[in-house]
């Protein structure tokens, strides 16, 4: 089973023909019930990251429950559509980017399942190369970029945006961590698909980021963005062959993965 975690503005994926699954986990309930339906030859599970009515801010999303529930349901490969700000003028609103690197600037979020047992996971390349290839093979998709994940829920100051840009980061987001590392701990393939909704505060003098503008831009691009996600799902191989995301080979875990 493939998974899709919808970001801000991306709250539904299937019509009424989909079945709804209510899950519980050792980490609480997920953001919303999971809907499951067919996409091409795949069965796909969809979960809105922020809840059906956007009731979870980035720092309150139950990330561990979400990822655990998807794994328990049978998901092993996940695409994570998300809204992002751009840190470079070349990537304007409406651009679609598949990042290849991540920088964590969050704090205080529960970001591991391994609070005991001395378990470490490799995370040098945080995204699944096989899933990235499926997405970047589509027309108009930008291949690569570094996404810095900030704590939120506030947007960056101009100084922070300029600092991030000076470091060579290209995208800024509030939800990409700990989602990506939790997927790796659960040995699930994971790739983000980022829709640029704005130029971040320090990029353009006189402009600043507002929630209203972000949602307007996302809604303007939602139909083609969903179509791109559908086409990406259809491009994924039926069989999972990736070994990059199998983080625990040769390691004895303190508990069984779901």
Count CB atoms within 10 A of the CB of residue 14: 17
Handedness of CA 101, 74, 121, 111 (dihedral sign): positive
Q: Is 233 annotated as a binding-site member?
A: no
Could you say which DSSP state residue 112 is in? -
Separation between Cα atoms, residue 137 and residue 117, nearest integer Å: 39
Could you say which DSSP state residue 154 is in? S
From residue 183, give the alpha-carbon distance in Å to each of 9, 28, 144, 187, 230.
22, 17, 20, 6, 21
What is the model's pLDDT at position 157?
A: 92
What is the model's pLDDT at position 184?
A: 98
Pairing of strands 77-86, 171-173: antiparallel
Residue-by-residue pLDDT tens, the chain, 258 positions: 999 998 777 878 888 888 999 999 999 999 999 999 999 899 999 999 999 988 999 999 999 999 999 999 999 999 999 999 999 989 989 999 999 999 999 999 999 999 988 899 999 999 999 999 999 999 999 999 999 999 999 999 999 999 999 999 999 999 999 999 999 999 999 999 999 988 887 777 656 677 777 777 777 878 888 899 999 999 999 999 999 999 998 888 989 999
Count CB atoms within 10 A of the CB of residue 208: 16
Given the residues 100, 111, 115, 198, the one annotated as active site: 198
CB 108 within 8 A of CB 178: no
Count CB atoms within 10 A of the CB of residue 152: 15
Q: Is 200 annotated as a binding-site member?
A: yes
Given the residues 104, 125, 143, 200, the one annotated as active site: 200
Q: Is 143 annotated as a binding-site member?
A: no
Separation between Cα atoms, residue 90 and residue 251, nearest integer Å: 43
Tell me, yes or no, if 24 is annotated catalytic: no
What is the model's pLDDT at position 206?
A: 59
Separation between Cα atoms, residue 100 and residue 102, nearest integer Å: 7
pLDDT in tens, 12-32: 888 888 899 999 999 999 999
Per the structure block, which two tokens stand in for 109? 């979020």
Residues 204-210: contacts with CB within 8 Å, 24+ apart?
A: 204/89, 208/155, 208/158, 209/85, 209/155, 209/156
CB 147 within 8 A of CB 171: yes
Q: Is 49 annotated as a binding-site member?
A: yes
Per the structure block, which two tokens stand in for 107? 């704090």
Total length of the chain? 258
Tell me, yes or no, if 198 is annotated catalytic: yes
Per the structure block, which two tokens stand in for 100? 């290849």
Residue recorded with tokens 């086409």? 231
Helix, strand, coil tally for the chain in percent (to 5):
25, 25, 50
Separation between Cα atoms, residue 5 and residue 66, nearest integer Å: 9
């Amino acid at each position: 089973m493939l998974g899709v975690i919808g970001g801000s503005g991306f709250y539904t994926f299937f019509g009424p023909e989909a079945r709804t699954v209510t899950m519980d986990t050792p980490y609480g309930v997920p953001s919303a019930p999971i809907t499951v339906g067919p996409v091409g030859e795949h069965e796909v599970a969809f979960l809105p990251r922020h809840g059906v009515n956007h009731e979870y801010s980035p720092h309150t999303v139950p990330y561990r429950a979400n990822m655990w529930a998807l794994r328990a349901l049978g998901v092993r490969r996940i695409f994570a559509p998300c809204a992002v700000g751009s840190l470079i003028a070349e990537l304007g609103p409406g651009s679609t980017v598949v990042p290849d690197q991540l920088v964590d600037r969050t704090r205080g979020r529960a970001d591991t399942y391994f609070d005991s047992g001395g378990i470490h996971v490799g995370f040098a390349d945080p995204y699944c190369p096989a899933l990235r290839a499926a997405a970047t093979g589509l027309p108009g998709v930008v291949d690569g970029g570094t996404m810095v994940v900030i704590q939120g829920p506030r947007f960056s100051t101009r100084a922070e945006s300029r600092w991030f840009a000076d470091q060579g980061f290209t995208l800024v987001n509030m939800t990409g961590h700990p989602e990506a590392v939790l997927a790796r701990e659960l040995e699930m393939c994971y790739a983000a698909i980022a829709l640029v909704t704005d130029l971040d505060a320090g990029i353009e003098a006189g402009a600043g980021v507002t929630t209203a503008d972000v949602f307007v831009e996302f809604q303007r691009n939602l139909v083609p963005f969903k179509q791109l996600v559908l086409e990406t799902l259809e491009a994924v191989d039926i069989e999972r062959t990736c070994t990059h995301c199998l983080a625990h080979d040769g390691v004895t875990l303190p508990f069984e993965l779901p």
